[in-house]
Structure 1
């Protein structure tokens, strides 16, 4: 991936809109992808408790922003 705002980062952010963590997986960051995916799936699965759903929504937004702003270390 190129720098922040590159086409690859935009695609990764769009992937995260549909599946949390997919954008990080596209960027090759497997651990970050797993963490975002697990937090969001568990939080959304416990939606009736309200607080986990709010945490999941925040993590989902964070995953989207993280994928869009990612810069590979050189």
Structure 2
């Protein structure tokens, strides 16, 4: 069987150098920061939707949350 994977994982530099050569350092850096900002925005949006009821989450197309876990320690008192 032929080995199709490289012997070692490729470094980030291997992927960034062609982008920097084609587009320049500053545009690539700006795009990286914009991508990071978009990921943080998505995480904040997910946190802001966490308080919705399962019914509302279903109405807007989100999966309903799992029911909260029961705290059995309170039952043992």
Higher percent of residues as helix:
1
- Structure 2 length normalisation: TM-score? 0.30
